Structure 1
Amino acid sequence: MFRGNHPTRVDEKGRLKLPAEFKRRVDELYGPQFFITSKDGRRAEIWPLKEWEKIEAQLARLSPMDPVRKKFLDVTNYYGQMVEMDAQGRLLLPQLLRESAKATGEVNVLGVQTMLEVVNAESFKAEMKGERDAVELTVSDLTALAEKTKVSE
């Protein structure tokens, strides 16, 4: 499970060095192969290949003619590339995605359970700021989450 926020940098060649905590987890569970993509062009998603293959297996159950399946694959393939981690623990972010997500210079690497997200540090903070000028969850956010995670009896 990936969790937490690790501010770091994407170097001038487009390489992201995985933060040590995340790299340790990758080494323990996954190995060096990844599929890096996005669903919206604003955040780079780093999927260990084993986790991405689970998504592909779910998609394979849908009809090839399903328009939602097709759109999902079109978008994730448009931004996506297979990447292998180098000996220094670096991943090359796809150029198209780096440009679209502004994933250059200072970035945040967020643990999102089975994958990592890379976001432009400045844009992310601006997006997450609430009414009190702080990164926060609102009462309505928490209420919605409680409803969605409620265990039915």
Structure 2
Amino acid sequence: MFRGVNSLHLDAKGRLAIPTRYREALTRHCNGQMVITVDRDHCLLLYPLPDWEEIERKLVKLPSFNKHARRLQRLLMGHATECELDSAGRILIPPPLREFAGLNREVVMIGQGNKFEIWNEEAWNTQRAQWLAEQGEDGELPADLESLSL
């Protein structure tokens, strides 16, 4: 289970050092093999390979004549890139994905259970502030979240 917010730095080659506290779990779970892809919120999603393969199987089964399904397939699978932890615990984020998410030196990596989100730090701070401001606006929770107690 991946959780927490981590402020990190990309090096000049576009490599991101995965926080030490996640490395052992990633090595155990996927031997450091991961997949990185885009998200509609203009961040990146980083999955351990077995988790990504499960999602990919579901995406492939979506109806290809449904324009929303095709869009999702094109975005997620079309941008999916395999990466692996190097001996220093880093992954290389390809230039097109860095450009998509507006990643420069300062990034934020957020644990989301079975995956991570990777954000441009400024974009994350702006989006987080917006979500917090909207928190009380829409009032009702979806039915499946009503029993969640915080």
Q: Which TM-score applies when normalising by structure 2?
A: 0.84
- Displacement of 1:18 in angstroms is 0.4
Q: SS of the counterpart of 2:141?
A: helix
Counterpart position of 1:77: 77
- Displacement of 1:72 in angstroms is 1.4
The amino acid of 1:33's aligned partner reads Q
Structure 1 segments (4+ residues) deviating >6 Å:
none
- Displacement of 1:85 in angstroms is 1.5
Q: CA deviation digits over 1:81-109, x for unaligned, max 9?
A: 11121111111112111012112201110
Quickly say closer, same or farther: Cα 1:74–1:129, change in 2 above 3 A. same
* Residue pair 2:60, 2:73 contacting (<8 A) in 1 also: no
Question: How many residues end up aligned between the 2 structures?
Answer: 147
Q: Separation in 1 of the partners of 2:56 and 2:101?
A: 24
Counterpart position of 1:126: 126
CA RMSD of aligned residues (A): 2.4
**5+ residue gaps, structure 2:** none
Q: SS of the counterpart of 1:118?
A: strand
Q: How does 1:127-142 map to 2 (within 5 A)?
A: 127-130=127-130, 138-140=135-137
Quickly say closer, same or farther: Cα 1:111–1:137, change in 2 above 3 A. farther
Q: Which TM-score applies when normalising by structure 1?
A: 0.82
- Displacement of 1:130 in angstroms is 4.8
Counterpart position of 2:9: 9
- Report the identity percentage: 26
Counterpart position of 1:99: 99
The amino acid of 2:146's aligned partner reads K
Counterpart position of 1:148: 144
